[in-house]
Amino acid sequence: MECFRRNCMNEYHTRHSFLGFVFLFLFISIANAEQAGIQPRIVGGEPADNNEWPATVALLKKATVDLVESGVATDANGNLIPVAQANRVAQFCGGSLISSKWVLTAAHCMFPNGTLLSATDLLALTGTSNLLQGGERMVVSNIYIHPNFNSETKDSDIALLELAGDAPAPAQPISLFPGAPGDGADATVVGWGARNFDNSDPLNPIIDDFPQQLHEVIVPVVDSPDCKIAYPGLITDNMICAGYLEGSKDACQGDSGGPLMIGQGSSAQQIGIVSFGKGCALPEVYGVYTRVEKFAEWIASLTSGSVINQPPVADFIARCNSAGKGCNVVGAFGVYQFTATGSHDPDGQIVSYHWDFGDGATEASRFPNASHRYLAAGNYIVTLTVTDNNGLTSSVSQTIVMIEFVPPHFDSSVIDIVTVNDLTIEVDTKTEGSLGNSDVCSDAARCVATM
């Protein structure tokens, strides 16, 4: 079954109601898992260092926090749940801080029972990697679900939570990656979700192992065609997949809404949101994530520019100025046209294009196109740097090749005269290095050509 990574069960709090039972029978669970061939799963990751991922947010159900902290909450065996366990018991989804008061998460996390939660049902725990210590519980003032979210198709699985105040340090917002990473790029997914999961029985809560410490796992980005094979008819352009063909490493239940990132620590950028998958870490299927770059405009429209400014994306095409031969020949044509209309800024606009043509010449303009004539043969590294309206820059380079122009060899010894299309042409049939018969002559009346 394909299920959202919040939970495969009917109610998200079901796993919490069994938490004490899980603790009590953990050694039995591990033994059963080994016998059943179920691998410990984030799934397949390891504990993250404290504050290694400072943008990560744990979403808590406020009613559960209040109940545990009242001192009367009990587990399945009737044992009192310690007050210190309140965050751990109440955590049901993840999120990421994208500005001091905005949290990005999965839309499906807001519908635990098919009914939209209210902001007063939630707390956002920021600034900690450990659910049992540290951090700041933030009040949520508003919930925004993407208007195209579809719980059946799982498309547009994205939501924004507005906090009532600014999240204090050590919490630190993460920037959103502008564009899509290359296939095979290493990405990191983090969360407090299940480290063990019974793929043969998704409703079995005993096998689940939910950590107090944030966990991380590295998974490669998977190209769309491969992911579409794993999930026929489900994958859209708003999704990105990550994982291993052989399985073993993946996000799992309870990780929903958390970030998929490239880069490390404070330099990390978010590319996805944990959304859904078939089981956890199964072979030949992958984890599916909401592709955040597809929703940059929607995010900006709600956050009113409070989200960290995204850098622009530089891109250009280099073309000779002639479709004929010799367009990269010094002395004949020697002019290249550069087109940067593919450059863009996900949350603003590009205000300048700076060209370094690789031969010491440069050009700056607010327009995306440029041209340059090269005067000597050689390899030239052309670099475009674009700057957005908030001062961020991005660069990209390409190498072009210019070759020396070799003029045709003319010989005064004319062997024959031929007439082509009523044009008399003197033809040298012996001289090597003369123009080929497909070349255009500069003097159409006297063209020495090799026949």
Answer yes or no: do 162 and 216 share one domain: no
Tell me: do 279 and 369 sit in the same domain: no
As for how many domains the chain has, the answer is 3
288 falls in which pLDDT band (50, 70, 90)? very high
- pLDDT at site 240: 94
Phi-psi region of 257 (alpha: psi -120 to 50; beta: other; left: phi over 0): left
Q: What is the mean pLDDT of residues 271-279?
A: 93
Among residues 175, 202, 236, which one ends one of the domains? Answer: 175
pLDDT, tens only, 420-444? 455 555 555 454 444 444 344 444 4
Q: Please pick, among 29, 96, 175, 256, the residue that the annotation labels catalytic.
A: 256
Residues 72, 109, single domain; the answer is yes
Please, what is the average pLDDT of the chain?
A: 79
> Residue 390: inside a domain, yes or no?
yes
What is the spatial distance between Cα 48 and Cα 45, in angstroms, rounded to a whole number?
9
Q: Token pair of 451, please?
A: 């026949």
How many C-beta atoms lie closer than 10 Å to residue 78's C-beta? 7
208 is catalytic: no
Residue 25 has pLDDT above 70, yes or no: no
Report whether 122 contacts 60 (CB < 8 A): yes
pTM of the model: 0.64
Is residue 330 situated within a structural domain? yes
Residue 201: which domain range? 176-293
Residue 14 lies in a domain: no
Asked if 256 is an active-site residue, the reply is yes
Same domain, 327 and 287: no
Q: Which residue has the higher pLDDT, 79 or 448?
A: 79
Check residue 11 and give its pLDDT.
30
* pLDDT digit string, tens, across residues 292-315: 999 998 998 999 766 666 788 899
Q: Looking at residue 198, what is its pLDDT?
A: 61
CATH code of residue 209: 2.40.10.10
409 catalytic? Reply is: no
Residue 183 pLDDT class (50, 70, 90 cuts): confident
Q: Which residues of 36-60 are buried (b: 16+ CB within 10 A; e: fewer)?
A: eebbbbbbbbeebeebbbbbbbbbb
Instruction: Give domain status of residue 371, yes or no.
Output: yes
Residues 192-247 have pLDDT tens digits of: 988 776 665 554 544 447 889 999 999 999 988 899 999 999 999 999 999 999 98
Neighbours of 141 (CB within 10 A): 14
108, 215, 344, 372: which is the annotated catalytic residue?
Answer: 108
Q: Has residue 13 been placed in a domain?
A: no
Are 146 and 203 in a shared domain? Answer: no
234 and 210 inside one domain: yes
One of 13, 96, 156, 157 is an active-site residue; which one?
157
- Considering the domain architecture, whether residues 75 and 163 belong to the same structural domain is answered as yes
166 & 206 share domain: no
Q: Confirm whether 34 is domain-assigned.
A: no
